[in-house]
Amino acid sequence: MLSLAGPARAQGVVVAPHAIVIDHRTRSTSVILYNPGAQPTEVTIGTFFGYPVTDSAGDFELATPATPGTLPSAAGWIEAYPRRMVIGPLERQTVRLLARTPANLPDGEYWSRVLVTAKGGSVPIALTDSAATGITVGLNLEVRTILPLQYRKGKVTTSIEVGQPRLTRESDSLVIRARLVRHGNAAFIGTAHGSLLDETGRAVASFAVPLAVYTDADPRFTVAVAGLPSGKYRFVLELKSDRTDIPAEQIVQAAAATNEATVSLP
């Protein structure tokens, strides 16, 4: 029988920035890897095609089709230098990402995911079988970090269309679903702002959720309504191309989009 003998000591690397944009004029950028641990870490950099989608429950997940089809993939022509390295304890390593684009690449935004795999450290496992007293083994682990990468050439535009929110009550929460249709040749990166307003127009509940819409989506949001008095309310959903975690110059700007619906709480 196996049991964990102590806390996990597998350590990943800290990667900055956490969202990568490459412009066609430079065709390159760099990321910084930092090993905060006390042991050397073996790191590998790779790319694959992936983009966020919503599942049937409205939760975002990463789609990773074997082939991109008609979607704009950059995964096949992004290269990392170096691709493999060992980073010592408390050391930093700069990795250069270079784009070797196809000839006559049309204007637009192209997508990839950068996979940073860190190996180093282990989880100690004790053998609790009485016949194996005194024997311990270590389970080597790896930590994977996935970053979005967007390659932009020429004029890139985006906009978002917000369908009418669909509201349902679940326990002490109000569940909101809304169809989002993305237009243009770039992903919509922004924040969904939701506000539940009473009959006087006062916001009694709200949320602000960062999101990225690459293809049409139907996300799920919730607001707590426990303790609110019975009556009619108006819910307003607004999407803006702003994010607190991404520099404004890396976001393709779009006009804010809004839609709303009414709901009665018992």
For residue 6, name the pLDDT band (cuts at 50, 70, 90).
Answer: very low
Distance CA 176, CA 187 (A): 22
pLDDT for res 12? 79
Residue 264 clears pLDDT 60, i.e. is over it: yes
Amino acid at 228: L
Distance CA 175, CA 118 (A): 38
pLDDT for res 141? 78
- Fold of the domain built from segment(s) 2-153: Immunoglobulin-like (2.60.40)
For residue 4, name the pLDDT band (cuts at 50, 70, 90).
Answer: very low
Q: Where are the domains of the chain?
A: 2-153, 158-265
Distance CA 46, CA 44 (A): 7
- Other CB atoms within 10 A of residue 119 CB: 18
Measured CA angle at 178 (ends 175, 181), to 5 deg:
160
Cβ partners under 8 Å of residue 137, min gap 6: 124, 125, 127
80: tokens are 């990392």
What b-and-e string marks burial along 188-227, b requiring 16 or more CB atoms within 10 Å of the CB? bbbbbbbbbbbeeeeebbebeeebbbbeebbbebbbebee
- What is the distance in angstroms between the CA of the first residue and the CA of the last residue of the chain? 54
Q: Is the dihedral of CA 129, 131, 135, 137 positive or negative?
A: negative
pLDDT for res 60? 96
Residue 131 clears pLDDT 90, i.e. is over it: no
98: tokens are 């270079």
CB 159 within 8 A of CB 182: yes
CB 256 within 8 A of CB 239: yes
Residue 8 clears pLDDT 60, i.e. is over it: no
CATH number of 158-265: 2.60.40.2360
Residue 5 clears pLDDT 90, i.e. is over it: no
For residue 127, name the pLDDT band (cuts at 50, 70, 90).
Answer: low
Cβ partners under 8 Å of residue 156, min gap 6: 107, 108, 109, 184, 185, 186, 252
Per-residue pLDDT tens over the stretch 132-189: 555 555 566 789 999 999 999 999 999 999 999 999 999 999 999 999 999 999 999 9
C-alpha 91, offset from chain centre: 26
Amino acid at 200: T
Mean pLDDT, residues 77-88: 96
For residue 266, name the pLDDT band (cuts at 50, 70, 90).
Answer: confident
Q: Do 2-153 and 158-265 share a fold?
A: yes
CB 43 within 8 A of CB 13: yes
For the chain, the residue count is: 266
